[in-house]
Amino acid sequence: MAEYPNSRMLDLTLEFGMTILILIWIGWDTTRKNMDRKYHWGWLIGIVIAYLLFVLLGVLVVAGIYFIWSRFYYKRDNNPKI
């Protein structure tokens, strides 16, 4: 199977685009749930580090962990369950 010359560039572009969409989703979700800014920035920095170390697989793992944490473990006393 022949490798196209620009296929790696296309892969990197798609991976980076998905990472940006996940960053926007986490930012929207933390704002919607009125989370403290430390949670917002902590998860965003985690996504960036995962992208730098493991590219898309790391981003998907951290996003999955964030999803589980935000749905089942994060509770705010003065915030009704969303």
Whether 16 and 47 have beta carbons less than 8 Å apart is answered as no
Give the structural domain span for 59: 16-73
Look-up of token digits 């986490």: 26
Tell me the pLDDT tens digit for each residue of 27-61.
999 999 888 899 999 999 999 999 999 988 999 99
Q: What pLDDT sits at residue 34?
A: 87
DSSP code of residue 79: S
- Has residue 54 been placed in a domain? yes
Q: What single letter denotes the amino acid at residue 71?
A: R
- Has residue 33 been placed in a domain? yes
How many independent structural domains does the chain possess?
1
